[in-house]
Amino acid sequence: MNALPACPHCASDNTYPDGDLYICADCGYEWPQSGSADQDADALPIVKDANGQPLSDGDSVVLIKDLKVKGTSTTLKVGTKIKGIRLVGGDHAVDCKTEAGSFLLKAEFLKKA
């Protein structure tokens, strides 16, 4: 039986201790052995728009570049206003809904409205 905790980031049981940290061999996430791992897992990094302004859940943003949606003929046009964004972790940190559907977007192509 593995007495080590599961990874709070990807829920994998493939973890190991390294000094005062636990490390997930699958996703590479690291968290301290002492203290609450849940606080670290829930804390998202600060997401900034193209102008360096921090974004938060519920903000309205505007696209600064035409974005072609992979696998479709849809293009999100520059100047499109998107209301009520939601921040999620990862490379594409902004989850939003537009008239064309739901998308995950990179914050570097957005500016705060």
Superfamily of domain 61-112 in the CATH hierarchy: SH3 Domains (2.30.30.40)
Q: How much is the pLDDT for 65?
A: 96
Q: For 39-84, how does the pLDDT look when each residue is reduced to its tens digit (9 = 90+)? A: 555 566 788 999 999 999 999 999 999 999 999 999 999 999 999 9
> Is the confidence at residue 104, as pLDDT, over 80?
yes
Residue 28 sits at the vertex; the CA angle it makes with 55 and 39, to the nearest 5 degrees, is: 50
- Asked if 32 contacts 21 with a C-beta cutoff of 8 angstroms, the reply is yes
Residues of the chain with CATH 2.20.25.10: 1-43
- Asked if 69 contacts 17 with a C-beta cutoff of 8 angstroms, the reply is no
Is the pTM for the entire model greater than 0.75?
no
Task: Please state which CATH class domain 1-43 belongs to.
Answer: mainly beta
> Is the confidence at residue 2, as pLDDT, over 80?
no
Residues of the chain with CATH 2.30.30.40: 61-112
Q: Kindly report the number of other CB atoms within 10 A of residue 78's CB atom.
A: 12
